[in-house]
Amino acid sequence: MSNTTLPPAAFTRRAAPALVRQAASVVLETSAGELEARRVVVCAGLQADRVAALGGGRSEPQVVPFRGDYWQLRPEARHLCRNLIYPVPEPGFPFLGVHATRRIGTGEVWLGPNAVLAFAREGYRRLDLSARDLGQALANRGFQRLAARYWRMGALELWRDFSKRAFCESVRRYLPEVTAADMVPGPSGVRAQALDPTGKLVDDFVTDVQGDRVMHVRNAPSPAATSSLAIGRLIADAVPL
């Protein structure tokens, strides 16, 4: 939010079931009371399409959550990877694939991530399930078209998600000395992937301005984009004045 001073409680996590535009302000009706601001910038990530709908925004692009799990090399095996190792992207496949990342400072080596449909928008574990989120993803025509095109690769990703040995084989393409015993579970993340109705992954930055007081960031296609000063400037310049 901008152009207003909010109390400390405004920065805590709370549900926001409604976003109401008024003549001179915008009111967010939340589970902890109303918040009022002259202008609002919404960066809702996994809930971006739903929050946009609260204010009457357009329905596309919709968000489909993809979970990515990492493995890590044990400390005694980190010498097997001294640099960043990335595969050459496959033009026909929308995700990068498993790669090796040596972390700056800690020396940790992360392997992955894979890319599988998350069964919940905030499903960071394999068995996290939201019937609403999963049903909405499966009913999404864009996702249906994406799955029809890449079902073989999707099946491989799912198998690799549940099989440490299969994941290790993918790693060994680049680090042949790595064994399954060298790998320990790492963190996971959920990507808020925007899809268009044709099943194409939206790979550009998307904003949606509603009226003269609300702007929604509908898609930030890379973690790097969320920390880009240039994109911060783009948002600042695009906010309705």
Return d(Cα 117, Cα 123) in angstroms, integer. 10
How many folded domains does the chain comprise? 2
pLDDT at 7: 44
Per the CB < 8 A criterion, the answer to whether 99 and 84 are in contact is: yes
Per-residue HEC secondary structure of the chain comes to CECCCCCHHHHCCCCCCEEEECCCCEEEEECCEEEEECEEEECCHHHHHHHHHHCCCCCCCEEEEEEEEEEEECHHHHHHCCCCECCCCCCCCCCCCCEEEECCCCCCEEEECCCEECCCCCCCCCCCCCHHHHHHHHHCHHHHHHHHHCHHHHHHHHHHHHCHHHHHHHHHCCCCCCCHHHEEEEEEEEEEEEECCCCCECCCCEEEEECCCEEEEEECCCHHHHHCHHHHHHHHHHCCC
Check pLDDT > 60 for residue 6: no
pLDDT value of position 177: 97
Q: pLDDT digits over 104-118, tens only?
A: 888 999 999 989 999
The angle formed by the CA atoms of residues 6, 12 and 15, to the nearest 5 degrees, is 105
Q: Any idea which residue has 């992937």 for tokens?
A: 193
Q: What is the mean pLDDT of residues 31-42?
A: 83
> Domain range holding 39?
8-61+202-238
Q: Based on the fold, state whether residues 166 and 140 are members of the same structural domain.
A: yes
Task: Please report whether residue 215 resides in a domain.
Answer: yes
**In a shared domain, residues 68 and 53:** no
pLDDT of 2 above 50: no
pLDDT in tens, 53-92: 887 778 889 999 999 999 999 999 999 999 999 988 776 6
Q: Would residue 1 count as lying in a domain?
A: no
CA pair distance 178, 8, nearest whole angstrom: 48
Residue 226 has pLDDT above 70, yes or no: no
- Count of C-beta atoms within a 10 Å radius of residue 145: 16
> Is there a single domain that holds both residue 70 and residue 181?
yes
- Both 88 and 169 in one domain: the answer is yes
The CATH number of residue 81's host domain is 3.30.9
Same domain, 70 and 188: yes
pLDDT tens string 151-210: 988 898 999 999 999 999 999 999 999 999 999 999 999 999 999 999 988 888 888 888
pLDDT tens-digit profile of 13-27?
667 667 777 778 888
Give the CATH number of the domain where residue 17 resides. 3.50.50.60
Give backbone dihedrals phi and psi of 218, rounded to 5 degrees, phi first.
-90, -20
Q: What is the pLDDT at residue 4?
A: 39
Model pLDDT, residue 147: 93
